[in-house]
Amino acid sequence: MLDLPVTVEGYGAIRAHAAPRDKGARRTKLLADLDAAISACELTDGATISFHHHLRNGDGVLNMVMDALSRRGLKDLHVAATSIFPVHAPLMDHIRSGTVGRISASFISGPVGEAISRGALSDAVVLRTHGGRARALDHGQLKVDAAFVAAPAADDLGNVSGRAGKTACGTLGYPLTDVEVARHVVAVTDCLLPYPVQPTDIPQGKVDHVVVVDRIGDPGGIASGTTKPAADPSSLAIGERAAAVIAASGYLSEGFSFQTGAGGISLATAAVVGRIMAERGIVGSFCSGGITGFHVKMLNDGLFRTLMDVQCFDLDAVRSYQSDPRHQSMSAATYAAPHLGGAVVDRVDAVVLGATEVDLGFNVNVTTKAGGFIIGGSGGHADTAAGSRLAIITTRLTAGGFAKIVPEVGTLTTPGETIDVVVTDAGIAVNPRRGDMGERLRAAGLPVKGIEELAAEAAAAATRPTPPRSKGRVVAVSEYRDGTVTDVVRAIEGETG
Amino acid sequence: MLDLPVTVEGYGAIRAHAAPRDKGARRTKLLADLDAAISACELTDGATISFHHHLRNGDGVLNMVMDALSRRGLKDLHVAATSIFPVHAPLMDHIRSGTVGRISASFISGPVGEAISRGALSDAVVLRTHGGRARALDHGQLKVDAAFVAAPAADDLGNVSGRAGKTACGTLGYPLTDVEVARHVVAVTDCLLPYPVQPTDIPQGKVDHVVVVDRIGDPGGIASGTTKPAADPSSLAIGERAAAVIAASGYLSEGFSFQTGAGGISLATAAVVGRIMAERGIVGSFCSGGITGFHVKMLNDGLFRTLMDVQCFDLDAVRSYQSDPRHQSMSAATYAAPHLGGAVVDRVDAVVLGATEVDLGFNVNVTTKAGGFIIGGSGGHADTAAGSRLAIITTRLTAGGFAKIVPEVGTLTTPGETIDVVVTDAGIAVNPRRGDMGERLRAAGLPVKGIEELAAEAAAAATRPTPPRSKGRVVAVSEYRDGTVTDVVRAIEGETG
């Protein structure tokens, strides 16, 4: 042993080196099963566990982990998911048994949303935007004890790839944010590859434990929604009109950046926008958000320089991400967070969004359906509306007999001051806060009307009255990206969902 | 304004949403100049500022930032660099003026090392391993107020690429760790690209400010060391012998993982190892560490599956990283940190390392030269020695007339218990802790000797006596990867460096 001083000026006390015992030891993060991982995470009653939804309605990991937690008798757990789908219906049993006491998510569809609306949980569910969830994680408002990553492929030191394996889902933008702050991170995979995985989507330093299971989910479930442009005449007409709005807006020029959802009208809009870009010889900078094969085609057609992808919406997008470096992954924080001085959403020129309801203040509801049952949540809706220069809502005047342009939304998800234009089959309304835009669109020959006029037409076309807001207790809080609250959702009694 | 409840069960107090004022505002992180960035970072006397060394002896950013800080009259700053090179000689003026009061680094060469050895700083310099620095950052022992990233290309929201620009340096493994924890991150670039940069090496969410300067450095300085296999007979003989050790060690089999430095003997070793792999039909898993064109050639020859690259050592490596997804970036933490349950170094089968001195306990000095002047530091030396199954030191018996196998090292950088084999031009010594290995190498016909025998031969061949350790005050502390101290470096008086 060397003769070291006890303290050193500018350094402090010296702890002398002692011989390490594990030279060349082959460390591994591989554990026998989920039970072992749960033990390693030292989870106790009331713990917060997080999940991501890249496998969408094909996800097997949330249910598998919750079953394991339930078997151990843990109670009052907080499920902090990015999204909950119909496949997660078993959560209802865990709520009933007391295993789950709290839920937070950015989007909830299917029977769990209905159960929440019926008051299944005594604590209010927190619905955050994708960017708001990233902010809450970074600011410690959402503290995660264990993040479970559905890993299409992994090695035994925790490098994770979304590009390999039988359940390859492409980018892993949501867990990229969780793994930065979670106390423990568990990669759950059905494809253990030799070390090191390449290329890596989540690096080993962010993962604590690796568990191999038979099957993390159903690859067919990834593309659970429509990811093709609509083909019916009414949707095509709305898409044509939304594209005309973009073309006339002044934003469709060299370097144009664009986001659409994966719905048929959104993609129909994108198809027309792409045609106009090709005609005008415009090359855009990026498409962002959830990415579909249709966006990949626009990239490959030379219409955009790059894709910023938080989640692949279909297998064509997965294949593109596997092979094309222009198709980039981004974390939820990079995508949409409001606290980092500028996210990707802050550079989007135009976004095409859907709505369950839009009201006279241009406020949008994508959280509840007519009658008040939870059927969604913001996801990136409020984030992109706030960040983009031109936020367009496309919607029919009515759906299922209910008016979609209403005096007041059933739940306020996205504030009206961030919505610029509403495009319907009956005409276009421009938010009066964007006065010049109305003139511009009129000058282009577009059928601009007042939002009140559209609401009146919608009311006339509706065959069922919009039910009044419930007066029940609060079952969910709709949090805006900055942590303020835009609205609450109240319990429904009696009627079916 | 909606009528929201004041508090909600399971949520707490409700802060009602207020209309955002900045819908669609084009945020930017671009500031006018370094001065503006320094203001934005709110740096005060005593602040810690960090730098990385991917531009090696061509780096212009450290000097530029220090000049700007000096002009503002800041005092007693802590320069937390990953490495300091001869190009950073102007630091000495900043030490003299009191602008710089503390230094920590993983490697210090050139006049700054000599000045420190002469007692230029009253506070001891902290020399950390690459992995130890990542650990100290993560554990808050090294708190960074502002990390300055030399960014070969960036966009105005802070996406950084090492793959583009006139000073493209390839991977950015070291700042990848700093940006996770620094209070402020400034990207300094001479190539501002349209948003978004692609592909991105550091994502925008990790960067707070972007500054454009004329020139971040001299691209020719990246490959400042030798990055070709040695050609002289003596080095070639050592390389042949080190390769024979690897071939006989039992570790050279399918999936073999390998690390070498960029020195001539290391690469000569790699050349022979590659030849043996090709002959035996072995495909290795990865090469790691700093990567050279020689490693790229081994990848392209099909000898390895992937490269794990913390820093490109030459422009051939940069070109490979630009175009080949098998050539992967890794952060300093992923590379070498001891606190994350397993780093890349923990999966290295064989590493070939250099030494200034090796002693009878197999301890290695790569920190000071004979006489005690600082000329380096661990970098990844101690990390890879600890993690690898087979850590080989290659060295001549003497250099500059001094013995290199000595009774006791002038500074203990890498503990002997992590070194397995010492290969010299006069024979091979095997650490007795690895008793079986000695037999194995003897059985392969290799000239295995006792380390005492090599030391005696070195002493006989030396023309200058090894100066005794200085008794001066402590000027630097050599911290091991786990935060313990392996040795201290003491001030030298009188003689020249």
| Residue of chain B whose Cα is closest to the Cα of A337 | B205
Contact between residue B395 and residue B354 where contact means Cβ atoms under 8 Å apart? yes
- DSSP secondary structure code for residue B327 in this structure: E
- A341 CB within 8 Å of a chain B CB: yes
Q: Which two tokens stand for residue B218?
A: 């001299």
From A305, A309, A427, select the one nearest A358 (Cα to Cα): A427
- A139 CB within 8 Å of a chain B CB: no
- B305 CB within 8 Å of a chain A CB: yes
Q: Given an 8 Å threshold on Cβ–Cβ distance, is B342 in contact with A389?
A: no
Q: Given an 8 Å threshold on Cβ–Cβ distance, is A20 in contact with B417?
A: yes
pLDDT number for residue A24: 75
From A436, A351, A435, A450, select the one nearest A393 (Cα to Cα): A351
- Residue whose tokens read 């960074």: B144
| Residue of chain B whose Cα is closest to the Cα of A482 | B17
Whole-angstrom Cα distance, residue B69 to residue B58? 20
| Residues of chain A contacting B340 with CB distance shorter than 8 Å | 204-205
pLDDT at A333 over 70: yes
**What are the φ/ψ torsions at residue A174 (nearest 5 degrees)?**
-75, -50
pLDDT number for residue B486: 97
The tens digit of pLDDT for each residue in A111-166 reads 999 999 999 999 999 999 999 999 999 999 999 999 999 999 999 999 999 999 99
Q: Which residues contact A407 (CB under 8 A, 6 or more apart)?
A: A359, A360, A455
Chain B closest CA to A102's CA: distance in Å? 8
Chain B closest CA to A489's CA: distance in Å? 10
B181: amino acid identity, one letter:
V
- CA–CA distances in Å: residue B234 to residues A37, B230, B396, B401: 53, 9, 8, 16
Residue A497's pLDDT band, with cuts at 50, 70 and 90, is very low
- DSSP secondary structure code for residue A192 in this structure: B
Q: Which two tokens stand for residue A313?
A: 């919406």
- B12 CB within 8 Å of a chain A CB: no
Q: Which candidate in B7, B26, B347, B437 is best for mutational testing of the A interface (most A CBs within 10 A)?
A: B347
Chain B closest CA to A268's CA: distance in Å? 24
- Average pLDDT on A482-495 reads 90
pLDDT number for residue B3: 79
Whole-angstrom Cα distance, residue B212 to residue B32? 8
B89: amino acid identity, one letter:
A
Pick the residue with more confidence: A2 or A218?
A: A218
pLDDT number for residue B262: 83
Q: Given an 8 Å threshold on Cβ–Cβ distance, is B389 in contact with A24?
A: yes
B429: amino acid identity, one letter:
A
B4: nearest CB among A124, A417, A485:
A485
Q: In the sheet where A405-406 sits, what is the strand order?
A: A364-365, A357-359, A405-406
| Residues of chain A contacting B484 with CB distance shorter than 8 Å | 15-18
The rounded Cα A29 to chain-centroid distance in angstroms is 29
Contact between residue A121 and residue A97 where contact means Cβ atoms under 8 Å apart? no
Contact between residue B212 and residue B30 where contact means Cβ atoms under 8 Å apart? yes
The tens digit of pLDDT for each residue in A382-414 reads 999 999 999 999 999 999 999 999 999 999 999
pLDDT number for residue B166: 93
CB-based burial of residue B323 (10 Å sphere; 0-12 exposed, 13-18 middle, 19+ buried)? exposed
Contact between residue A267 and residue A229 where contact means Cβ atoms under 8 Å apart? yes
Residues paired with residue A357 on neighbouring β-strands, in sequence order: A365
Q: Given an 8 Å threshold on Cβ–Cβ distance, is A20 in contact with B415?
A: yes
Q: Given an 8 Å threshold on Cβ–Cβ distance, is B342 in contact with A2?
A: no
- Average pLDDT on A427-435 reads 94
Q: Which residues contact A439 (CB under 8 A, 6 or more apart)?
A: none
- A14 CB within 8 Å of a chain B CB: yes
| Residues of chain A contacting B201 with CB distance shorter than 8 Å | none
Whole-angstrom Cα distance, residue A160 to residue A29? 12
pLDDT number for residue B497: 44
Residues of chain B with pLDDT under 50: 497
pLDDT number for residue A21: 67
Reduced DSSP (H G I as helix, E B as strand, rest coil) percent helix, strand, coil of chain A, to 5:
30, 25, 45
| Residues of chain B contacting A477 with CB distance shorter than 8 Å | 8, 11, 14
Q: Given an 8 Å threshold on Cβ–Cβ distance, is B412 in contact with A204?
A: no
- DSSP secondary structure code for residue B16 in this structure: B
Q: Which residues contact B445 (CB under 8 A, 6 or more apart)?
A: none
Return the axis-axis angle of helices A233-248 and A264-280, rounded to nearest 10°: 40
- B158 CB within 8 Å of a chain A CB: yes
| Residues of chain B contacting A16 with CB distance shorter than 8 Å | 484-485
Chain B closest CA to A413's CA: distance in Å? 11
- A305 CB within 8 Å of a chain B CB: yes
B194: nearest CB among A17, A203, A285:
A285
Contact between residue B422 and residue B432 where contact means Cβ atoms under 8 Å apart? no
| Residues of chain B contacting A334 with CB distance shorter than 8 Å | 203-205
**What domains, with CATH codes, occur in chain B?**
30-221 (3.40.1080.10), 233-469 (3.40.1080.10)
Residue A223's pLDDT band, with cuts at 50, 70 and 90, is low
Whole-angstrom Cα distance, residue A274 to residue A430? 23
| Residues of chain A contacting B390 with CB distance shorter than 8 Å | 24
**What are the φ/ψ torsions at residue B361 (nearest 5 degrees)?**
-90, 15
Whole-angstrom Cα distance, residue A290 to residue A284? 17
Residue A495's pLDDT band, with cuts at 50, 70 and 90, is low
- B208 CB within 8 Å of a chain A CB: yes
Whole-angstrom Cα distance, residue B248 to residue B439? 10
From A76, A116, A65, select the one nearest A376 (Cα to Cα): A116
Return the axis-axis angle of helices A233-248 and A435-443, rounded to nearest 10°: 110
Residues paired with residue A352 on neighbouring β-strands, in sequence order: A260, A392
